[in-house]
Structure formats: structure tokens, C-alpha cells
Amino acid sequence: MDTEVVESPAGAATDLSSDSVQTEMKLLKLQLEMMTLKAAQMSQRNSELESERTGIARHAKDLKTALTPMPTDNALIPTWFKTVDALFISLNIPEEIQGTILLPYLNEKIGAFIANQANGKIMPYKQLKEVVLGELRMTAHEYRRMFLAVTRQEGELWSQVATKLETMFSCYLRSRNVETFERLQKLLVADRLKQLMPENLRAYVTQSELEGWMPAKEIAEIAANFEESLSYSTQGAAPPVGGGQQPSGNRDRSPRGPDTRANSVRCFGCGQHGHYKRNCRSGRNPDAVVLRVVAGHFDNRLEKVKRVSRDRNFRFPKNGPWVEVLIGDKLCTARVDSGADITVVNADDVPTKILGQSSGKVKLTGAFGKSVTADLMYIPLGVPDASRSATQRAEVLCAVTEELDSNVGALITPDVFGDLCANALDLATELRVQVRLEEEIVAEQTMQEAAEGVSRKDNASSLVTGPVGGTPLGMGD
């Protein structure tokens, strides 16, 4: 007979209580293990941070003995970054801490700029370098300009000069993406070809290179197309200053030949034709150059000629090359800038009817590396005479921008200013010729009128007296 075992309620309660205690103990054990693991992780992190701080301090100490602070001269900053690159490699400084240990070496201006750009974070070195060079606008043109402008300073070793030249040239080649001898050869030929071009053509080619530099063959094709289109637009008109179109109604000129431009330009240094001031071999002082402009004035009937002679001195003042020019019909103050590659005009002074008629874009780079994009336009410019007006304008290819100071109407290249003065002198010569012709016409008309008056008087006398020795008409039978 089977026996059935029945547990009592008290025994069941005892088993449930035992299971609950075991579960709670397991939970406490897991919590203890978790706390132990977190403590180990925290200790490891503190150790890593301490090791990192120690590593940063050690690398910063090594860098301090070899690196000088960032120079304040923008032209020297690319060279300084090249030194930083070499030191980071030679000192085996990890990439993740390069941006951190470099911050104390930035100059005040760049340091403030980086702090503003970083938004409270530490920039990686590569990003920091890219941002700084981008802010300085170290374009390929600027690198080339700095390379050509390198000079030896007082007390500077020739080896240091050589290093500066190598650095600037290397920066220029990197900015042009030159990595082979073949590309280097093409770049040098292209640069030399552009250097041989007149200002207006060089400006047109430059604005065509916004996407990158072009080899000499492509530049030559663009130049040929430009000159062909220009010859069509200026056929039968006087050659304008700077390569633009001349307004209608100008004096007749002989057909343009291959040497027309060289023969028409005038040096504002010696006053001779055929070359510019920068190529002048004369030792004359530019302050001694005076162009005398004689202005002519005629009344509407052209029956009388009133000659008004005025003297106007076009010279560079000792306190700065400031001159007065007419932009359209507006008299403005301009500066003759020997370092400019193209004439720059303030957009506020450009005639309203011309604004918006852009012929393209050009990138302008200032002396401190800042660059702006300007519109290329043909602007009518002239040099005022003594009455602060001018009867003739020459259309000059100019860069138009709003970035010029409000008190400056234009920055004019010496070549353009010299041509404007030469045009004013040519106009004065024509006025003198016209005055002389008008005087001769008036004199001839006066003599003719006098002769006709005498003839009419003789005829009248003949009608009254009849034949010589006869009786007066109407007095006979």
C-alpha cells in the first residue's frame, strides 16, 4: 500500500524564505563585483590621464627647446609651419596631442582667431594649420610674390636667405600642385608668358584661371581670342588705355600694326614714347616731370575763338602718390599704386549705367594676404584739366569692388596713369591745332567778307556814276 507524504505549511514557508535569502545574496554579490570593476576602471583611467599628462608635459618640454613662437609677420608663418612639421616628426610627437601643445606658440592675433573658431574645443594640428593659412589667404599668387620679394636683412646669413627662398618656392609649388619636373617646366613657362602680357590681357587670363593655373598653350589660345575680339570691337577707333574700347567720335588714327602699342605708350618718368616708367633708363626724378595741358574752348557758333590756356602738373607728391581722376563724370581722389597689377575702382564711384555690365571676375589679393573677388568692367577714366573737367575719357579694364575705403575712388597702376596723362597731352595738342585752324578760318572769312564788301562798294559806285567821265545815270536827256 503506497504512503502519501504531505508537507506541512510550516515546511513550505521555510523553503521559500531560504530561496529569497539566496537570491538576495547573489544580488549583493553581483553589486559588489560591479563596484569593484568600476573602481578598477576608474583607477585605470586616472592612470592613463596621468600618463597622458606626463606625456604631454614631456613632449611640450622637448618642443620648447626647439620651437620659437609664431612670428607676427604673415609672410613668415608658412616657413614657421614647415619648421613645426619637421619638429613633430623628429620628436615623435603623437598626432592626437600636436594641436594641444602648439597652442601656446601661436601669436596673439592667430590665437584669438583659433579660439573663436574652435568653440571651446582643441583643434587637431592639421585642421589648425589649414584654418590659419586659409585666414591668411596664402594663395599661389601670394607665395610667388613673397618668393620674388625675398631680400637679405641686415645681419642675416646667406644660408638663412637660401632657406627662405627654398621655403617660399616649395610653398608656391605645393599651392600649384606641382610634383613632377614636367609640371614645373610648364608652370615656369606659363608664368613667364603671363609676365610678358600687357596689363589688360594679363588680367583677363588671370580671371580665366579661377579653377587653377593653365599651361602656356591654353594661355596663348585665350590671349589670341581676346586680341581678336578686341581688334573687332576697336576697328576704326583710337586705341584705348588699358585695352578697353574707346568711345565713338575719336580722332582718326593710322591702322594698328604689331608695334602700335609700343609706339603709343608714354613713360611718365622721362616723357618719351615706346616704354613705361618701370623700363625707363633715364635717371630723371619723377617729381621733375610736368605735363602741361592747354585746354581750348569754343562758343557754340564757332564764329569766335576764345583760347584759354591752363597749366596742370601731373606729378607724384612727396607725401604720397595721390592724384585726381575723373571716373565717368565724377571727380575722385585716386592713389597711384606701383604694386597693383590692375586698376581697382570703388564701386560707389562707378556710373550707375555701367554697374552690372561685368566682363568677368578677378581675384584680388592685398598686401596682407586678404583676397576678394571683384567684377571686371570697362570704366571711362580721365585726367582733369585746370577746370577740373575733361573732354575725353579712355575706357580702362578695371576691377570694381566695394572693399576700397570710401575716401579712395581708385587704385591706379602707373602704366594706366601715364597713359591717361599722355591722352590728356594729346588732346591738348589737338585742341591747339583746332584753335589754329579755327583762327585761320575766321581770318579767311574776315578777309573774304572784306573783299566782298569792297567789291559791292565798287559796283554800287559804278551804278551811280555810270562810265568813267560820263554823266550820272538819269541826269541826261
Distance between CA atoms of 465 and 472, rounded to whole angstroms? 5
Backbone conformation region of residue 26, classed left if phi is above 0, alpha if psi is from -120 to 50, else beta: alpha
Does residue 232 or residue 408 have the better pLDDT? 408
Which of 414, 251, 241 has its CA nearest to residue 341? 414
Whether 143 is in a domain gets the answer: no
- Candidate from 90-94, 358-362, 393-397 with smallest mean pLDDT: 358-362
The verdict on residue 384 lying in a domain is yes
Report the DSSP beta bridge partners of residue 380. Answer: 395
In a domain, residue 398? The reply is yes
* Structural domains in the chain (count): 1
Across 388-417, average pLDDT: 78
Query: Regarding predicted confidence, which is higher, 28 or 195?
Result: 195
CA–CA distance from 64 to each of 57, 59, 95 (Å)? 10, 9, 17
Q: Are 95 and 122 in contact (CB under 8 A)?
A: no
**pLDDT tens-digit readout, 120-133:** 778 888 888 888 87
Higher pLDDT, 150 or 259: 150
- Please tell me the pTM assigned to this model: 0.36
Closest CA to 62 of 107, 115, 98, 110: 98
- Looking at per-residue pLDDT, the higher value among 345 and 246 belongs to 345
- The cell numbers describing 239, all together, are 586705341
pLDDT of residue 320: 47
pLDDT over 70 percentage in the chain: 63
CA distances from 61 to 91, 93, 140 (A): 11, 11, 35
Query: Is position 244 within any domain?
Result: no
Confidence of residue 246 (pLDDT cuts 50, 70, 90): very low
* Better-predicted residue by pLDDT, 160 or 459: 160
| 72 φ/ψ angles, rounded to the nearest 5 degrees | -85, -20
pLDDT band at 319 (very low <50, low <70, confident <90, very high): very low
Q: Name the DSSP letter for residue 104.
A: G
pLDDT digits (tens, 9 = 90+) for 408-441: 888 888 888 877 777 766 655 666 666 677 777 7
Confidence bin at 271 (pLDDT 50/70/90):
low
For residue 303, is it within any domain?
yes
Give the residue-averaged pLDDT of 386-401.
72
User: What mean pLDDT is predicted for residues 161-174?
Assistant: 84
Mean pLDDT over the full length of the chain: 70
More confident residue, 323 or 454: 323
Question: Cα(322)–Cα(52) distance, rounded to whole angstroms?
Answer: 60
pLDDT, mean of residues 434-454:
74
Task: Give residue 189's pLDDT.
Answer: 92
Least confident of 192-196, 302-306, 317-321: 302-306
Give the span between the Cα atoms of 75 and 157, in whole angstroms.
18
> Worst-scoring range by mean pLDDT, 43-52, 297-306, 379-388?
297-306
Residue 381 lies in a domain: yes
pLDDT exceeding 90 applies to what percent of the chain? 3
Q: How many other CB atoms sit within 10 Å of the CB of residue 400?
A: 24
- The reply to whether 86 falls in a domain is no
**pLDDT in the model for residue 128:** 87
Q: Which residues are within 8 A (CB) of 221 and not within 5 positions of it... i.e. 6 or more apart?
A: none
Per DSSP, what are the bridge partners of residue 401?
346
Enclosing domain of residue 290: 268-277+286-431
Residue 353, domain member (yes or no)? yes
CATH number at residue 324: 2.40.70.10
Distance CA 85, CA 105 (A): 14
Q: Is the pLDDT of residue 80 over 70?
A: yes
Q: Average pLDDT of 184-209?
A: 87
Task: Give the model's pLDDT for residue 265.
Answer: 52
